[in-house]
Amino acid sequence: MRGDLMDNDTWVRELQNRLDLAFSDPTVLVEAFTHRSFLNENRGYSGEHNERLEFLGDALLGLCVKAHLHSSLHEPEGVMSTMCSMLLNNQSLAAVAKSLGIPPYLRVGRSEQENSDRAQNRLAANLLEALIAAVYVDRGHETAMKFVAEWILPELLHQANDEVLVNPQGELQKLARQRYGEDPQHRVLAIFGAGHNRRFTVGLFVGNKQLGTGEGWSIKAARKKAAQEALEQHFDVAPPSSRSGHQDEAMFFASPPTRAAVSGEAARIIKAAIFLEGSATFKALDQSVQLKIATELAKDAQP
């Protein structure tokens, strides 16, 4: 993210080449990449900040994602709403913005450049929405929807698939409710180090019964590890393997203990995520795994 008044022609040309887009009015692109804080620190600058475009882009992206879910899935509204929430959160949008390489072009004030990672993700997510709106304003609805479909939606779907398939806390909460009648609670048991070197130890409890312990650089990471330990030790849910490729993801989906643990709506969401990632994913799987998945889908189709 930059805070200078670099010659617009230079970075606008770079951006258009990167995104394979030609803007008839480059000032719209400049507006999309200008944060309010940049204007506050450059009073002589006469352009606009990107909040109006962000507002429009949020609606356009939501429309595109919901239209895709509606046309691709024959699922209840609740499942599609869950998928939509997973696709459109700030963390996912920021990851897509970073994959496109656009955050370094955002013009922000110095006060915003030193913010937390969470704040930086928010800026990147908002930037992505503003960019979508800029394409819409300059090139029209068809080009904007094509841009989302080709550049943004595939990456969002891939991330949603990963998020569903690697969610031990959600599995643990459901199983703990079934067995104990209440949700597990986390407690920070220890903090080591200081500043950026801090590590957290977190325990997960139901009442006074400790189900698992995890350690990580953040409380969130430690909770995730504690949830996985609890699943393994108390609910006989084997940990997924590396999950680095489609084969690992599919085996996680197809393994009997995990499949039982994610029955009902969660299983439908997993199947939706696998389906949405495209037929190439399914075709790349081992034939025996394909058969297992097809069998499960056939069961759902039975009256």
> Long-range contacts: 78-87, Cβ < 8 Å, 24+?
78/265, 79/265, 79/268, 79/269, 79/272, 82/265, 82/269, 83/160, 83/269, 83/272, 83/273, 83/276, 86/160, 86/163, 86/164, 87/156, 87/157, 87/159, 87/160
- Catalytic residue at 77? no
> Which run of H or of E encompasses 242?
none
Q: Annotated catalytic residue: which of 129, 138, 229, 277?
A: 129
Sheet with 199-206, edge to edge strand ranges: 185-192, 199-206, 209-216
Q: Are 91 and 168 in contact (CB under 8 A)?
A: no
- Catalytic residue at 58? yes
Closest CA to 155 of 101, 228, 215: 101
Q: Annotated catalytic residue: which of 31, 58, 171, 277?
A: 58
CA-derived radius of gyration, the chain: 22
Place of tokens 């507002």: 55
Q: Are 254 and 240 in contact (CB under 8 A)?
A: no
Q: Are 89 and 67 in contact (CB under 8 A)?
A: no
Helix segments in 20-114, DSSP class H = 26-32, 36-41, 51-72, 77-87, 90-100, 110-113
| CA gap 101, 230 in Å, rounded | 38
- Which residue numbers are catalytic? 58, 129
